[in-house]
Amino acid sequence: MDGTVRVYEKTEHINLASILEGRFPKNENEIAIERMHADNVGVKVGDRIIVGGKEWTVAGVLAYVNYSTLFEKSSDFMFDALKFNVAMVTEGGFKRLEGPIHYAYAWQYVNVPDNENEEKGFSDDFMKALLTQTVVNENEIKEYLPAYANQAIHFATDDMGSDEAMGGVLLDILIVIIAFIFAITISNTITKESKSIGTLRASGYTRGELILHYLATPVIVTLFAAAVGNLLGYTVFKNVVVSMYYNSYSLPAYETIWNPSALFKTTIIPLLLMFVVNLVVIARQMWHTPLEFLRQDLKRNKRKKAIRLPEWGFFRRFRFRIIFQNLQNYLILFSARLESGQEF
């Protein structure tokens, strides 16, 4: 296995690891290596590799919680899953290794900080105390790296967080556009069925009953889509997302759990957006009198005052007047094309 391997002795309370395949090493000749690098170089459980001039049997592949991304140095701009690996051996196996040993000390807070600013204050205070003890004992600190600044720990989670935020915004935009499409379609349907609506209104049906009738279709379709989406999201599509992140980062074994926040963002919010947008459009259409429905006289502001334009030529004034009259439709089309990723 070509590359640099950073070997740790198995610990019980800090720098923990999650076994993904095989098992943890049990004797001095066994080693467990990081999963992502092992996949990239083609090493599997049961293979024999040379590390530190010694031959080892790969007992398992793992993921260290402190190495979700394989940064060899804190100053590196990008992690390296092709030439860098972290591994675990037993206490006896660690004694087999030849070469210099680099001691790394880790600490845990008794009172866990509530946020990054508080953690920064704690780490600065700890560094001052550590520096004082180091100088007194005539030693030196090669590197000091608090957890909040360790890219190997936070790079993957930060990337996932940004993906989640972007996905939520795109979902809301898409739902609003679909809601407007539903609203425009229903508005056209109301116009075509205006005589029937006028007859029903004259027969005693209320505006509320007709609004609920036309509002039912988009809400039921959205509710059905949300139910199917949640079902597929927890079964089929979860494997797509998991493989996407597992191919990029060295993540520990995961467990599928029900997420109330995801239900709120992917089901409740889309339903509310669909309901509100269509309710506004349909209620506005239904505010006509039964006689206006029977006459199919549903246009508003028939005598809308034209925008005063400068003394341009006829064709130029004509083009701009057409643009201003259809400005709302152009904005909806522009939003739809922008959401679909078209270039202008």
Secondary structure, 3-state, 112-156: CCCCHHHHHHHHHHHHHHHHHHHHHCCCCCCCCCCHHHCHHHHHH
**pLDDT exceeds cutoff 50 at 220:** yes
162-188 burial, b at 16+ Cβ within 10 Å, e below that, comes to: eeeeeeeeeeeeebbbbbbebbeebbe
What is the tens place of the pLDDT at every residue in 223-235? 999 889 888 888 8
Q: Report d(CA 278, CA 274) in Å as an integer.
A: 6
Q: Is the pLDDT of residue 341 over 60?
A: no
Weakest mean pLDDT among 4-18, 75-89, 261-275, 277-291: 75-89
Confidence band of 342 (pLDDT split at 50, 70, 90): very low
Residue 174 near residue 105, CB atoms below 8 Å: no
What's phi and psi for 297, nearest 5 deg? -105, 75
What is the arithmetic mean of pLDDT over 89-107? 78
Rounded to 5 degrees, φ, ψ at 115 are -150, 180
In this predicted model, which residue has the larger pLDDT, 209 or 166?
Answer: 209
Task: State the amino acid at position 244 in one-letter form.
Answer: M
Residue 126 has pLDDT above 50, yes or no: yes
For all residues of the chain together, what is the average pLDDT?
Answer: 80
Q: At what angle do helices 269-285 and 207-233 cross, to 10 degrees?
A: 160
User: pLDDT tens digits for 46-66?
Assistant: 888 888 778 889 999 888 888
Q: pLDDT band for position 335 (50/70/90)? A: low
Residues 6+ apart with CB under 8 A from 30: 56, 57, 58, 59, 89, 90, 93
pLDDT at 224: 92
- Cβ-based neighbour number of residue 28 at 10 Å: 16
Could you give the 3-state DSSP secondary structure of residue 25?
coil
Contact (CB, 8 A) for 165 and 260: no
Count Cβ atoms below 10 Å from residue 240 Cβ, excluding itself: 9
d(CA 293, CA 287): 10
Q: Under a CB-based contact definition with an 8 Å cutoff, are residues 112 and 56 in contact? A: no
Return the H-helix or E-strand segment holding 283: helix 269-285
For the record, the structure tokens of 90 come out as 């037993």
Of all helices (H) and strands (E), which one includes residue 56? strand 54-64
CB contact at 8 A, 61 and 41 = no
Q: What is the maximal distance between C-alpha atoms in the chain?
A: 97
* Number of C-beta neighbours around residue 33 at 10 A: 27
pTM for the whole thing? 0.59
Output the DSSP codes for 199-210: HHHHTT--HHHH
How far is residue 62's CA from residue 44's CA, in Å, rounded to a whole number? 12
